[in-house]
Amino acid sequence: MRTSFPKHKIKAVLVEGIHPAGVGLLRDEGFQVEALPSSPDPAKLAKLVHDAHLLGIRSKTDVTAAILDAAPRLLAVGCFCIGTNQVALSHAAHQGVPVFNSPFSNTRSVAELTLAEIIALYRRLTEKSGLMHLGQWDKSAAGAHEVRGRTLGIVGYGHIGSQISVLAEACGMRVLFYDIVSKMPLGNARPVKTLNDLLKDSDVVTLHVPATPLTERMIGPAQLKRMKPGASLINNARGSVVDVDALAAALKSGHLAGAALDVFPVEPAGKGESFESPLRALPNVILTPHVGGSTEEAQASIAEDVATKFIKFVNVGTTTGAVNVPEVELPEQAIFEEPSARKPAGQRRHRILHFHRNVPGVLSKMHTLIAQLGANISAEYLRTTEDIGYVVLDVDPTDGEKVLARLKTVPETIKVRLLW
């Protein structure tokens, strides 16, 4: 696909060792890519971005207002991870710079870990393995069970919860789920009306809800008490969802048979810091250091997802998946003409991408300016947030450069870009 700006002049700076799958996609598109294995310090990052059109980071690089100000050509920032707190999101929005991330590329990894844990808890695998490492051969079936025929209760039937539903049924489990939103059950899974219904009927409860005021400690002493004696609990969602002191008490009393946790209310900042939790050293409790989504496949999938979002934004103007500007999904229209078929200036069709401050009257000012040039708006796509508007206009026939120059005079314009 052609754009008004030669693709080989688009420069992407990718830091923190972004997976080669993403680097490859951008290079295949014809963009220049400078890829660094680690996170540069702020001074080096500021230098790197001064002529960059795309900046790709992971969680260790802070993209502050100062870094954004040092990048006058920047079109978009990509967080090749889940979180976006490391970016000055509002500052980027007010520069017309969308920030993309990849919230769902590790869904399968979390679902597989959860399935592995369900089976491991039922077979007391970590205990058996621990004893073997101590030289103890305890060949006994006591306390070990098949998962077939057991009931799995899934709290939160979104991307991850619904994947686990399919995997668990394939292992012969019955699946119940509870969600605050009405969801289509997959396979033979059955929705239940309340969390209490799910807790009392499930042999294993697995949590896959976001961190919200409603889910804060949604599993506390009262909910644990409602769970079946001998049941297990899995939390691979968010640390705030479970009261870990209450869970430790339920495990110590023998009411619960096991638990698996990947996320905690307080997590160490890094390798050097010790992990403290009342759940440490309890039997049949699997503890993992927030690695539910950490697989090489997930890294590749995240890299492909964010690189694809970059490419769609650069080539077409699509902002779907942006976290800080209005999301506009655009068709790939035939307005992009091969250079050989290009009509002279003044007779061409164009796509104009326009970020502006969302105040009344901006669109009518734009329409008037375009009409004064005798151009027809053949399609218009508009989305707004409280303070930012993003409008994409397909106009013909006209001289795009003239339209661009006129739109830049609209005081509310934040950024305007022309595609062929």
Ligand X SMILES: NC(=O)c1ccc[n+]([C@@H]2O[C@H](COP(=O)([O-])OP(=O)(O)OC[C@H]3O[C@@H](n4cnc5c(N)ncnc54)[C@H](O)[C@@H]3O)[C@@H](O)[C@H]2O)c1
List residues near ligand X by CB under 6 A. Answer: 104, 106-107, 110, 155-161, 178-181, 208-212, 214-215, 236-238, 262-263, 290, 292-293
Q: Which residue lies nearer to ligand X by CB, 66 or 211? A: 211
- Residues 405 and 420: their CA atoms lie apart, in Å, by 15
List of residues 6+ apart from 412 with CB closer than 8 A: 356, 357, 359, 362, 365
- Give SS3 for 256: strand
Q: Which residue lies nearer to ligand X by CB, 163 or 398? A: 163
Q: Which residue lies nearer to ligand X by CB, 25 or 209? A: 209
Residue with the shortest CB distance to ligand X = 158
Q: Which residue lies nearer to ligand X by CB, 111 or 393? A: 111
60 burial type by CB count under 10 A (0-12 exposed, 13-18 middle, 19+ buried): exposed
Question: In this structure, what DSSP letter does residue 275 have?
Answer: P
Instruction: For residue 146, indicate whether it is catalytic.
Output: no
DSSP E strands: which ranges in 144-237?
151-155, 174-178, 190-191, 204-207, 231-235
Is the preceding peptide bond at 339 cis, omega within 30 degrees of 0? no
CB of 109 to ligand X, least distance (A): 7
State the catalytic residue, choosing from 27, 226, 290, 383. Answer: 290
State the catalytic residue, choosing from 34, 146, 216, 267. Answer: 267
CB of 225 to ligand X, least distance (A): 19
Instruction: For residue 354, indicate whether it is catalytic.
Output: no
CB of 294 to ligand X, least distance (A): 7
CB of 154 to ligand X, least distance (A): 9
- Give SS3 for 349: strand
> In angstroms, what CA-CA distances link 339 with 3, 28, 87, 343?
10, 20, 38, 9
53 with 313: CB under 8 angstroms? no
- Give SS3 for 111: helix
322 with 390: CB under 8 angstroms? no
State the catalytic residue, choosing from 108, 174, 208, 238. Answer: 238
Instruction: For residue 367, indicate whether it is catalytic.
Output: no
CB of 310 to ligand X, least distance (A): 22
Q: Which residue lies nearer to ligand X by CB, 86 or 398? A: 86
CB of 291 to ligand X, least distance (A): 6
* SS3 readout for 36-50: CCCCCCHHHHHHHHH
Please name the amino acid found at residue 377. I
**How far separated are the first and last CA of the chain, in Å rounded?**
10
CB of 169 to ligand X, least distance (A): 17
Count of beta carbons in the 10 Å neighbourhood of residue 130: 12
- Give SS3 for 124: coil
Q: Which residue lies nearer to ligand X by CB, 158 or 221? A: 158
Using CA atoms of 115, 117, 122, 125 in order, give the dihedral in degrees to the nearest 10. 130
Q: Which residue lies nearer to ligand X by CB, 142 or 181? A: 181
List of residues 6+ apart from 392 with CB closer than 8 A: 317, 328, 330, 351, 352, 353, 354, 380, 381, 382
Active centre residues (catalytic): 238, 267, 290
